[in-house]
Chain A
């Protein structure tokens, strides 16, 4: 009668390559990997729609959202997103869209601090509409 060797990794339940001391760890790593897989896929799919809706789509078109964000970024209400941007732009040698800008509000120093305001849920829609009303009025 032989004792079952503790070293036998021929146990039918253990996957190939997994030995008994590490079986539990491998099981939990597998579960973690599945969580990461599903997490990556779901958040990846939701990223574009969630961002679009947060920043005003469909009330604002993508180009309008782009322009509004540029206005916030560089604290300049006259800026617009040139669409389509010429193919000669970066990284193919041409000037980027914000080249030479002078209006951005920053506290400069070794660690710069941006000065733009926080943008809330669909706040860009109100900002856009207010500006249009002010322009018409």
Chain B
């Protein structure tokens, strides 16, 4: 039985990691468009399987949890940014006007009430624009950058994932409390108020699943 030298092992591991990452990145990009998600999911899963195969084959690849957290956080940020980006920059496109106001009428009146009456267009609910802008300009870009560093197994990536995922506590609490203060605007005349919103948005809690891992993972696996 031949065994690999250290160099060979490292080359083999790097090659396997790169191969898996190609599928993972392609899958995440497709899923990040929201509408092409079903195409992206099998592509992404292939990357996961390649990574698992490499791991079981004894190669030194990135831990599955790091991979999963990194890419899912990027996906979460991308999907939010696409939606809110449309609200800021494309609020008079037909698809935005129709689908956003439809979503607003179904689940969150903030996206229906006086939609496209503000000078900047888009959602007019009190406080909503501020949260949209701070999230797509600050929170999500920082989180994506941190996730990229995290996926590269960098120490700064791990540290900044902790910071930017904790941002999420502020973002969620601030956003929901703002909705609560103006609950009538957000929920009066809506088909599936409150529960509809929560059932739809619960899947965006990914940063809160990442935080416990980030605080309990052995930090030595991240290098400078």
Chain A interface residues toward B at CB < 8 A: 9, 15-19, 22, 25-26, 29-30, 32-45, 47-48, 51-52, 54-55, 62-63, 65-66, 69-70, 72-73, 81, 83-85, 89-91, 96-99, 101, 104, 111-120
Given contacts A37-B41, A119-B105, 19 further A-B contacts (CB under 8 A): A9-B218, A26-B216, A29-B209, A36-B72, A36-B209, A37-B68, A41-B37, A63-B98, A73-B113, A81-B97, A85-B92, A90-B91, A90-B92, A90-B121, A96-B119, A99-B119, A111-B183, A111-B184, A116-B189
Do A34 and B218 touch across chains, with their CB atoms under 8 A apart? Answer: no
Binary contact track B156-186/A, C-beta < 8 Å → 1, others 0: 0000000000000000000000000111110
Q: Decide if the interface of chain B is mainly helix, strand, loop or mixed.
A: helix
Binary contact track B195-224/A, C-beta < 8 Å → 1, others 0: 000001011111001101100111001000
Give 8 closest A-B pairs by Cβ, nearest first.
A90-B121, A39-B203, A85-B92, A98-B117, A41-B37, A51-B102, A113-B184, A44-B34
In this complex, the interface size class of chain B, counting residues with CB under 8 Å from chain A, is 35 or more
Do A117 and B189 touch across chains, with their CB atoms under 8 A apart? Answer: yes
B35 within 8 A of partner (CB): yes
Measured CB to CB, the nearest residue on chain B to A30 is B65
